[in-house]
Amino acid sequence: MLCGYDVLSRTAASEFTARFGRTPRWVVAAPGRVNIIGEHTDYSGGLVLPMAIDRYTVIAAAPAPADAGLRLRLHSAAVDETVDIPLAATPVPGEPRWANYARGVVAGFGARGLTVPALDALVVSDVPLGGGLSSSAAFEVATATLLEAAGGKPLAPTEKARLCRQAEHDYAAVPCGIMDQLISVLGAETGALLIDCRTQQTKLVPFADPSVALLIANSNVRHSLGDGAYAVRMSACVEAARMLGVAELSLATPAMVAAAEQTLGPLLYRRARHVVTENGRTRAAADALAGGDWNAAGGLMYESHRSLRDDYEVSSPELDTLVELARAIGVGGGVYGARMTGGGFGGCTVTLAASDRVADIGERLAREYQERHGRPLTWFVSRPAKGAHVVEATSA
């Protein structure tokens, strides 16, 4: 049986050959992710529980012709656009904007003194854009995986994730935490990953029971984390931590936040309350999933969504509808729990569901969502997926 990245890899290799007139030497893949629980806590050093999904960004590449100069020529199949990124000097952000993620990764390799040969490359992806499933991290990590393979100098996994996170900070102006890049690097086919974003320690949480699956429903309301709302939330967490006297908000306790309600004021109190309670929910959900207690895990997902909607204010009417519809289906219909996933303001929800009911659940969500909001719903089911890797490499 072909994996998702196998099919996409064949497409990338074929399109590379059609465009550049030769077969690729390397084909690399990096997955998107769905965050089961632990939202808007990573940049405060909190706990998160993401799972790599079988939607990938794949890059096919080969050494550039001898007279090409020292550059990475990168073609995006999605927008049918090509950009040259210099390898001898630090790239600067610019147009087209989609290439900034790759420019940032190239800059990270240069800052570490890692040399990369001139390359021609083509990128394809089936990670939904703007859906809160980390299409940007998948692109960054796939680019880094290619540069590792071409340069012959692999990075330590955590360092690779840090490099890609810095690329997003500096070249896309999104001050994200480490979660997205780390799960794209370290994803496993046997489960999700509990990540302590303060220490960057990880623990595999088994999620291989065939009786349950994650249904990912894309509201098709595209979000953008670079529009300022994400940075505003992060700044609020930094200020709340300062007022509570802790280095990062994840180091505060619910009791500390409750005691400081008057000092923090209504807004910062709600933001801080979300972070500290979400950490507790994430730890409990990891235990519940590991123990096969789907009802407990699902209940924590509903609580997480309520906190994100009311305390952190990053949901949207469409996301709220999808969670309400899932709750209405209930355990009797195969739904254990649901919540928004990703940065919010649009994007996707994730639903923990019985595997033998997901088709009925997805169809019902799509039908009732269309009736309420007049727009289509896109949904799919994913099992845990393999992290970034070289799919194919041939000798010179």
Query: What are the structure tokens assigned to 372, written together?
Result: 């309420």
- What are the backbone dihedrals phi and psi of residue 208, each rounded to the nearest 5 degrees, phi first? -120, 5
Identify the helix (H) or strand (E) that includes residue 243.
Answer: helix 229-244
Cis amide prior to 96 (ω within 30 degrees): yes
Strands 81-86 and 26-37: unpaired
CA gap 282, 288 in Å, rounded? 10
CA gap 202, 180 in Å, rounded? 13
CA gap 17, 49 in Å, rounded? 39
Residue 292 makes CB contacts below 8 A (sequence gap 6+) with: 209
Beta bridge partners of 124: 58
CA gap 12, 36 in Å, rounded? 30
Locate tokens 């896309």: which residue?
172
6 is catalytic: no
Catalytic residue (choose from 54, 120, 180, 311): 180
Query: What letter represents residue 202's amino acid?
Result: T
Q: Which residues are catalytic?
A: 180
